Copies of this chain bind each other. A is one copy, B any other.
Amino acid sequence: MAPKLAAQARREFEPPEAEAGPEGALLDLSHLSSIVGYPLRRAQMAVFEDFARRFQPLDLTPAQYSTLSTIGDNPGRNQSEIAAALGILRPNFVAMMDELERRGLAERTRSGVDRRSNALALTPTGRELLTRARVVQGEQEAAIEDILGRGEREALVEALRKLATLA
């Protein structure tokens, strides 16, 4: 927009009291706070940042942790099944399995022609890392329960499960 039009828009659409507002004063976020998507995203980011900090010594991302955990509880299932259950796109999942295999944490245990049909399993190293990771995860759950209390935490998980059916 040309400077002249910009100046016009300023006069028309900026209420004078906003100019007088002291820098650093609280913003009106009431609209965003009243819709579900915004606090949902802020909470998800906070929990994932907290996860990243706790899991940094183990060098695991949330997706890697979910994958190790699901393979550990479901040995012998194939890549397509695990990827679908976790809602991870297959190309991304294959790349992650490559990385987990490179680190000696998980393996594709049948080498068929179609890599998608390979059954997955943890290695001894992967199993040991999963055990340590679940202890760390338990610490995060305890921190969350400190904030919410047990009842509200359980109600939250239940509401989130229902909400996941939206899409």
Contacts and interface: CB of A to CB of B under 8 A. Distances in A.
B51 A37 contact: yes
Interface residues of A, number: 84
A135 interface: no
A16 to B, nearest CB: 9
Contacts of A82: 27
A156 interface: yes
A40 B104 CA distance: 29
A166 B107 contact: no
A50 interface: yes
Number of copies: 2
A4 to B, nearest CB: 13
B12 A124 contact: yes
B62 A41 contact: yes
Contacts of A23: 78, 81
Of A36, A45, A70, the most chain B CB neighbours within 10 A belong to: A36
A46 B144 contact: no
B155 A159 contact: yes
A56 interface: no
Contacts of A114: none
